[in-house]
Amino acid sequence: MTPHAGSSLRSARSEGPQPFWLVSIDEATRALASRREGLTSAEAAERLARDGPNIIDTRRHQSLIAKIARRVAEPLVAILLISAAISGATGDWQSFVVIALIVALSIVLDVSQEHKAESAIAALQRSIAITATVRRNGVPVELPVRDVVRGDVVELRGGDLVPADGIVLASRGALANEAILTGEPYPVEKSPEMSKSPSIADASNALFAGTTIVGGEAVMMVDRVGGKTSFGAIAASVQTREMPTSFERGLHRLGVLILRLTAFLVLFVLLTQLVRHGLSLESFMFAVALAVGLTPELLPMIMTVTLARGAVRMSERRVIVKRLSAIHDLGAMNVLCTDKTGTLTEAKIAHVGNFDADGRESERAAELVRLNSRFASGMRSNLDDAILTVAPTSIGGWNRVDDAPFDFERRRASVLVARGDARQMITKGAPEALLSLCTDVERSDGSIVPLDNVMRQNILKLFEDKNREGLRLLGVAQRAMRTDCSRIGPEDEAALTFIGCAAFLDPPKASARNAVARLVNAGISVKIISGDAAPVVSHLVEMLGIPAHGILTGSEIDSLTDRALADRAAATDLFVRISPEQKGRIVRALRLSGNTVGFLGDGINDATAIHAADVGLSVEGGTDVAREAADIILLAPDLGVLADGVFEGRRTYANIMKYVRMGTSSNFGNMLSMALASLALPFLPLTPLQILLNNLLYDFSEIGIPFDSADEAALARPQAWNINSVLGFTLVMGPLSSLFDLATFALLELGFKADIDVFRTAWFIESIATQVLVIFVIRTAQRAWTGRPNRILVWTSLGALAVALLVALTPIGRFAGFVPPPMPILAAIAGITVIYLAAAEALKPLAMR
Ligand SMILES: Nc1ncnc2c1ncn2[C@@H]1O[C@H](COP(=O)(O)OP(=O)(O)OP(=O)(O)O)[C@@H](O)[C@H]1O
Ligand SMILES: [Mg+2]
């Protein structure tokens, strides 16, 4: 369950549980039998056992037995078993037992594979579970969110996800985004002051599970967990389904298509039987067995297994998939947007100096920057961390009075500080924008002069020169405030006196150049979307030797319509001074022009874009918000890791296409043949039991597909789902396999005049041999003999064939009515199979076009 699925929940929103926030902190603490220092481990363990884990489980977890039961109860299987039992009761019990056994084997094969896949996925997801900082035994510890219990005291800061519902014990400018519950897109401030309103929207002293802290810090005491939270109540009342991706929709459509065809053909078979022989239990069972064998009910399992296998392989390359179908999207991605810090740079930011308006080294600028960082509540960025590690903060007798926290639209933060009677506001932020708020300048000699146009130009030039050296800058300015001033807001950021800048270095990441080249070679265009200034980004790109064309700034983007932006964005590789909303807009614009877009980012400011992308990507060390919004998490912030993941994604997709091709061509061909045969023959071409056996062996032969390698060509370009190519393939290969089936019929009936049992045995062998062996033809678009199939695939395929031959040609097969055909027939079948494979190989280029 992901909180952002909540946008679809809003409409179904009920008033939710009783408001728990209409109490004082003392009352709540008493009621929850807790304290400010939090619970002890023993208390927490007891509560965890009592209330259960803090999870909102909307997906029903099915036990193994339930899964098996569900499959046995599937209408087709049930009908088949019942009719077999009836026929058993009137004749031989043997065939009922064998049918039941084969059905059981198929189900075990299906369920065990799916179960294994699901546990592998669950293990992966646990490895990237989001944690919360909880006070236990008086000290803050990191715990998985599921272990949070009532009465726990949780510490939260900007970027964190609120793990449960609770009341605010303390706040330093905490801002929460509660859009998921209230629909209100702007963050709301949280404080411990008791609220009087029972409405969630006005509960300023409460924090809610699934919402995010976008700035500031808060301490909360948990009052509700899991399904009892407001979010849980909503989630439980609505079936939450994420929007299916184009890939899932495509597969679903294909499934429906096959299902319709099957239904049509099975009815056709039934009808012809009815007309020709009157309806017998056996021909009814034949039709049902045919339906069981041909329905794509295995498709979902196969997808899960193949995708899970891909996910496990990707995890070995340090890419963790949260949403399985994102594997396909990753393989189909042709545009990657990334932020700068951490992916293209080392994110080892160093505060390397400070200068004033004249470009001279300035201790005064350093001091003000430090004061601002020290006292600013709200989000602390890595720039702040760099500032505060250089020198232990000497606060010089200044005290914090108030502040206007940082946000990504303003790109600055202000603090109001006091010393004695003096009050001043210190503002630091993106320098060009800051300068435009300034009316005066403090020179090196301490004099303050009005900021005229010439000086403004000179200072802007100074910024640009420093930026070009690769320095990131934060400007700092100051304003004297009235003695009685006790609150400030963004509106006070005007008529400032410019003091200077702090300069930072964030070394470029050496591996980035190579990684970008690999992505570009793989057909992915890489775009950099940064909140930073143009020269910094250009300089970095030059340093790394990344080819990049075009540059757009946030303010330019604001004046473009969505359509115009889509056009411009396609030709632009660098986006600078971009706000979080604009990041999302760029991603949507790129998608609008038909691209499959990935976005990689780690900050609060990236979450919107991560969510808007086809493939949301974040990194292990990113903020909760970014990781929660992402579909895929990189365990290392490195584009090289991503490139590895892309290739695995494409390989997985290529293997899924092998199933789809196998299923649609040979299965489809088979159906057609069966239908035609039952029209032409005076007897059933296969017994129901033989059909099921055929189906089981065929399923088994496919187990090896997820392990197979993919063509170089399939890895080299983005691979997107395309139903037309699937249909085209089916229309060529399906009739081809039918043609050979019919040739077999004709040969057996007219040429050899085989009796019923020999006919069936021979056809069983032909059917299995052609169906199974054709994988070696269609697994690659190249000539079949150029690449080497994976060993496991060879084993499962040849193994299935060997078992089929064993059953058909030895006395073992008597239970299923097999009678070994004479040598000439076997030779003829071998010949037909070889010619079929050769024909498939010859027609493959046409079918795969
Ligand atoms: N703590 C801060 N105080 C004041 N201003 C800040 C602070 N942190 C960032 N800024 C300003 O906001 C701008 C945007 O922030 P930031 O660089 O984190 O955005 P971003 O889009 O994540 O960039 P990147 O591509 O480098 O990851 C910065 O360039 C800087 O000017
Ligand atoms: Mg960033």
One domain for residues 360 and 500: yes
Catalytic residue positions? 339
How far is Cα 463 from Cα 430, in angstroms, rounded to an integer? 10
φ, ψ at 789 (rounded to 5°): -70, 155
φ, ψ at 729 (rounded to 5°): -60, -45
Q: Is 706 left (phi over 0), alpha (psi -120 to 50) or beta?
A: alpha
- What's the pLDDT tens digit per position in 349-359? 999 999 999 99
One domain for residues 537 and 607: yes
Name the CA radius of gyration of the chain, rounded. 34
Q: Which residue has the higher pLDDT, 83 or 36?
A: 36
Average pLDDT over residues 546-550: 89
Task: Compute how many other C-beta atoms are within 10 angstroms of the C-beta atom of residue 801.
Answer: 18
The CATH number that applies at residue 462 is: 3.40.1110.10
Three-class secondary structure assignment of 226-253: HHHCHHHHHHHHCCCCCCCCHHHHHHHH
Give the pLDDT confidence score for residue 243 in this predicted structure: 56
Average pLDDT over residues 638-651: 91
Q: Which residue has the higher pLDDT, 495 or 83?
A: 495
How far is Cα 790 from Cα 776, in angstroms, rounded to an integer? 10
523-537, 710-724, 767-781, 814-828: least confidently modelled range: 710-724
Give the pLDDT confidence score for residue 217 in this predicted structure: 86
Query: 49-58, 110-119, 757-766: which has the highest mean pLDDT?
Result: 757-766
Report if residue 690 sits inside a domain: yes
Report if residue 12 sits inside a domain: no
The CATH number that applies at residue 212 is: 2.70.150.10
One domain for residues 513 and 577: yes
Q: How far is the CA of 605 from the centre of ligand 2 (A)?
A: 7
Q: Is 609 in the pocket of ligand 1 (CB under 6 A)?
A: no
Q: Is 430 in the pocket of ligand 1 (CB under 6 A)?
A: yes
Domain count, the chain: 4
3-17, 444-458, 690-704: least confidently modelled range: 3-17
Give the pLDDT confidence score for residue 526 in this predicted structure: 94
The string of DSSP letters for 726-775 reads: HHHHHHHHHHHHHHHHHHHHHIIIIIS---HHHHHHHHHHHHHHHHHHTH
Give the pLDDT confidence score for residue 10 in this predicted structure: 39
Q: If you count them, how many residues does the chain have?
A: 849
How far is Cα 765 from Cα 685, in angstroms, rounded to an integer? 12
Give the pLDDT confidence score for residue 163 in this predicted structure: 92
Looking from the CA of residue 506, the nearest atom of ligand 1 is: 26
Q: Which residue has the higher pLDDT, 87 or 133?
A: 133
Q: Is 603 in the pocket of ligand 1 (CB under 6 A)?
A: yes
The CATH number that applies at residue 615 is: 3.40.50.1000
9-23, 199-213, 581-595, 816-830: least confidently modelled range: 9-23
Give the pLDDT confidence score for residue 679 in this predicted structure: 79
Give the pLDDT confidence score for residue 7 in this predicted structure: 39
Of 601, 635, 669, the residue that ends a domain is 635
Q: How far is the CA of 428 from the centre of ligand 1 (A)?
A: 11
Cα–Cα–Cα angle for 521, 522, 527, nearest 5°? Answer: 80
The string of DSSP letters for 314-368 reads: HHHTTEEESSTTHHHHHHH--EEEE-STTTTB----EEEEEEETTS-B-HHHHHH
Looking from the CA of residue 342, the nearest atom of ligand 1 is: 27
Candidates 441, 423, 416, 419; CA nearest to 431 is: 441
Out of 426, 427, 474, 544, give the residue to mutate to test ligand 1, the one with the largest number of ligand atoms within 8 Å of its CB.
474
Give the pLDDT confidence score for residue 572 in this predicted structure: 95
Q: Provide the pLDDT confidence category of residue 335 given band limits of 50, 70 and 90.
A: very high
Q: Which residue has the higher pLDDT, 1 or 53?
A: 53
One domain for residues 655 and 787: yes
Q: Is 351 in the pocket of ligand 1 (CB under 6 A)?
A: no
The CA–CA distances, whole Å, from 175 to 136, 404, 469 equal 25, 12, 36
Average pLDDT over residues 4-26: 60
Average pLDDT over residues 331-354: 92
How far is Cα 355 from Cα 344, in angstroms, rounded to an integer? 26
Element at 422 (helix H, strand E) = strand 422-429
Q: Which residues surround ligand 2, an ion (CB under 5 A)?
A: 339, 341, 603
One domain for residues 796 and 729: yes
One domain for residues 687 and 832: yes
Report if residue 729 sits inside a domain: yes
Identify whether the C-beta of residue 707 lies closer than 8 Å to the C-beta of residue 790.
Answer: yes
One domain for residues 661 and 784: yes
Identify whether the C-beta of residue 730 lies closer than 8 Å to the C-beta of residue 819.
Answer: no
- What's the pLDDT tens digit per position in 99-133? 888 888 888 888 888 888 888 888 887 877 888 99
Q: Is 432 in the pocket of ligand 1 (CB under 6 A)?
A: no
Q: Is 670 in the pocket of ligand 1 (CB under 6 A)?
A: no
Give the pLDDT confidence score for residue 2 in this predicted structure: 38
- What's the pLDDT tens digit per position in 693-710? 888 888 888 888 888 888
Report if residue 756 sits inside a domain: yes
Report if residue 118 sits inside a domain: no
Q: How far is the CA of 316 from the centre of ligand 2 (A)?
A: 26
- What's the pLDDT tens digit per position in 601-628? 998 889 889 989 999 999 988 888 899 8
Q: Which domain holds residue 380?
A: 350-505
Give the pLDDT confidence score for residue 376 in this predicted structure: 84
One domain for residues 462 and 392: yes
Q: Is the pLDDT of residue 491 over 70?
A: yes
* Exposed / middle / buried, residue 181 (Cβ in 10 Å: 0-12, 13-18, 19+): buried
Q: Is the pLDDT of residue 14 over 70?
A: no
94-98, 503-507, 821-825: least confidently modelled range: 94-98
Looking from the CA of residue 381, the nearest atom of ligand 1 is: 1
258-262, 264-268, 634-638, 767-771: least confidently modelled range: 258-262
Candidates 29, 26, 46, 47; CA nearest to 38 is: 29
The CATH number that applies at residue 737 is: 1.20.1110.10
Q: Provide the pLDDT confidence category of residue 540 given band limits of 50, 70 and 90.
A: very high
Report if residue 432 sits inside a domain: yes
Identify whether the C-beta of residue 458 lies closer than 8 Å to the C-beta of residue 464.
Answer: no
DSSP single-letter state for residue 705 = G
One domain for residues 720 and 821: yes
Q: Which ligand is nearest to the CA of 578?
A: 1
Q: Please, how many CA atoms are within 13 Å of residue 389, restricted to the half-sphere of its CB?
A: 13
The string of DSSP letters for 68-99 reads: HHHHHTSHHHHHHHHHHHHHHHHS-HHHHHHH
Q: Show the tokens assigned to 220.
A: 């909360």
φ, ψ at 765 (rounded to 5°): -65, -45
Q: Which residue has the higher pLDDT, 100 or 440?
A: 440
One domain for residues 155 and 251: no
What is the pTM (predicted TM-score) of this model?
Answer: 0.83
Give the pLDDT confidence score for residue 796 in this predicted structure: 94
Of 237, 260, 279, the residue that ends a domain is 237
Identify whether the C-beta of residue 605 lies closer than 8 Å to the C-beta of residue 580.
Answer: yes
Q: Is the pLDDT of residue 58 over 80?
A: no
Out of 345, 368, 383, 526, give the residue to mutate to test ligand 1, the one with the largest number of ligand atoms within 8 Å of its CB.
383
How far is Cα 615 from Cα 587, in angstroms, rounded to an integer? 11
Please give the share of the chain, as a percent, with pLDDT higher than 90: 46
- What's the pLDDT tens digit per position in 270-312? 888 888 777 777 778 888 887 777 765 566 777 788 888 889 9
Give the pLDDT confidence score for residue 298 in this predicted structure: 64
Of 581, 604, 635, the residue that ends a domain is 635
Looking from the CA of residue 533, the nearest atom of ligand 1 is: 29
Q: Is the pLDDT of residue 8 over 70?
A: no
Average pLDDT over residues 670-691: 81
One domain for residues 218 and 250: no
- What's the pLDDT tens digit per position in 374-411? 888 766 788 998 998 876 656 778 888 988 888 888 89
Please give the share of the chain, as a percent, with pLDDT higher than 70: 94
Q: Is the pLDDT of residue 154 over 90?
A: yes
Q: Is the pLDDT of residue 645 over 70?
A: yes
Report if residue 479 sits inside a domain: yes
Which residue do the tokens 């990131």 mark?
472
One domain for residues 673 and 784: yes
How far is Cα 1 from Cα 323, in angstroms, rounded to an integer? 11
Query: 176-180, 347-351, 603-607, 834-838: which has the highest mean pLDDT?
Result: 834-838
Q: How far is the CA of 512 from the centre of ligand 2 (A)?
A: 16
Looking from the CA of residue 372, the nearest atom of ligand 1 is: 3
Average pLDDT over residues 577-602: 93
Report if residue 640 sits inside a domain: no
Residues 450, 456, 458, 463, Cα dihedral to 10° = 120
